Chains A and B, each alone.
Chain A
Amino acid sequence: MSTGKILRRISCGILLAVFAAGLFAGTLAHNSYARQFREAPNAAPSAQHRMGTDSLGRDLLARLAYGTRVSLLLAPAAALLATLIAGLFGGVAGLAGGWSEKVILSAADLSMALPLLFVLIALRALLPLDVSPVVSVVATFVTLGALGWPASLRVVWAAARNLRNSDCLLLARAGGCPPVRILLRHVLPNLRPVLFAQFWISIPLFILAEATLSMLGLGVMEPLPSWGNLLKGLENFSAVRANPWMLSPLLLLVIVVICFQFVLPAQEELT
């Protein structure tokens, strides 16, 4: 077995373990993520708090486990939304050509010209400041999904355009195959690897974007934890120096994003 395959299997194992930890956060952590132990702020790991506490005395393990659930369940949902938008419009642009192609690609160009973070910040700031944490989570990830499609659209468009001129579609059309059947039997199976790759690529991007947004105070609202607002604790350098376990959310995020890079299907396997 090649080194690449071994790394991919190890990464898959780590990702599955982290996903499971997020799903079973309640079992893993005995304390509530919002409960404050006011007598023990910034406490070191102990039997009661296995990863210590944050500056407000909240159990860090509980916050990390629930934050993992928020980040790792909603980032794929946002990636799915972005891939669906990219697949729909990229497919139409690539297959139909003409004016629809020009309009869709111009819209993608416009969206790509605006730095994603700038638009995200502006959009997030439109929401009232007193939204509930759950609404802030949904708003953050829906916004990410709704704005994260342009790069994927370009890739899907290129694949669909190649497909438009392919022999298989020409044969299908010449054979009198109805458009719906062409779409379902020829187009979608050929675009599936590209869509899958774009979906997979988008997940770590959205995890990182959420982290940055939350660190700027515009992502998931407290007291609900996410990897982003857990990282906000790193702004207090003296607390981090005294309690290095506060770096655990960053460590987990870096490991997960690196694992996603290893798991990403190689381009040659897709084509």
Chain B
Amino acid sequence: MTPWISRIGQRLLLLGALTLAGGLLGATLVRFAPGYGVDERELDPGLSASSREAIRNEHRLQSGLLSFYAGYLSRAVHGDFGRSEWLDRPIAGLLKERFPVTIRSVFFGIVTAWAAALALALAALFSRGWLLDLTGTLASGFLIALPGAVVALLAMYFRAPIFVAISVVLFPKVFRYLRNLLAQAYDQPCVLAARARGIGQARLLLRHVLPLAAPPVAALLGVSISMAFGAAIPIEALCDSPGLGQLAWLAALNRDLPLIMNLTLVVTLVTVAANSAADLLHAREL
């Protein structure tokens, strides 16, 4: 039990360190962007010299990357994530508004992709027929060759929900790995022995094949969460869905440092947590 707890502690530490480093990386990227700190209000001829100086002082306070980041962290502990420079709105509110939209799309996208991939992989595995295997291979080979943005356009054209587009991007990758993992497990000597004893297919799957394939399948599930978030960016941006992906795209275009930093943190936190959970599950299974 102790090594297990120690492993959880290590993963939590890594999670914290990676989250902070991810936020710092995001802040660094945008902080050194050309044009950062330039305020168009300074061009207003109606402003007095003291007003312009006040605006410059406001930016000067945020000019040092580390001081900016340290200030941000201390405010974040108290639930204040600052304001978006581009939208002039509290970031916490924006995240609260947009996060559920993306989470819903990502969740249903993952569920749909996994259901389709699992059904096709199992059907191909148990029927051992070339037709199903070929269908799956051709479908995944074609879909994997489509850029995410093209899938987004197709979703727009057919008026499909966002989660369907995400699942179309995920399906080929999940199907390929899943089929190979299940086929490997199916060919293990213990499964062969069970088949030789005449065990029914459902029992064979639940008692022998799935437990053998479970650890790498759990790892694949963790990775697919990260892939789904990545797919959400072009899909939400092009389909005009008000989620985190669209917000990240617009924030990057508008060089909104506080917003990008917070989005980086949220996305990093979710994906690292998912990967850590999969990793722990994998370790426990082993």
Residues of A within 8 A of B (CB): 106, 109-110, 112-119, 121-128, 204, 208, 211-212, 215-216, 218, 228, 231, 234-235, 237, 250, 253-254, 257-258, 261
Contact: B144 with A128, CB < 8 Å?
A: no
B209 within 8 A of A: no
Stretch at the interface among B50-58, B61-69, B148-156, B185-193: B148-156
Q: A212-B147, A216-B237, A254-B145 are in contact. List 11 more A-B contacts (CB 8 A).
A: A106-B17, A118-B229, A121-B248, A124-B252, A126-B30, A126-B33, A215-B234, A216-B149, A231-B147, A234-B150, A258-B145
Cβ distance B37 to chain A, nearest Cβ, rounded Å: 14
Q: Given A122, A216, A257, A258, which contacts B29 in the complex, CB threshold below 8 Å? A: A122
Contacts of A261 in B (CB 8 A): 141, 144-145
Chain A contact surface mostly: helix
Contact of A115 among B149, B238, B267 (CB under 8 A): B267
Q: Is the CB of B150 within 8 A of A117?
A: no
Q: Is the CB of B229 within 8 A of A125?
A: no
Which of A113, A126, A204, A212 is the one whose CB lies under 8 Å from B271? A113
Kindly report which residue of chain B lies nearest to residue A209, judged by CB atoms. B147
A252 to B142, CA, bound (A): 12
Asked if B18 contacts A123 (CB within 8 A), the reply is: no
A-B pairs, top 5 by smallest CB distance, nearest first, are A115-B230, A257-B145, A215-B149, A211-B147, A125-B252
| Residue B249, interface by CB 8 Å | yes
B229 touches A115 (CB 8 A): yes
Is B224 in the interface zone, CB < 8 Å from A? Answer: no
Q: List, in ascending order, chain B residues with CB within 8 A of A212's CB.
A: 147-149, 234
Contact of B149 (CB < 8 Å), options: A116, A127, A231, A258: A231
Cβ-defined contact, A109 with B272, below 8 A: yes
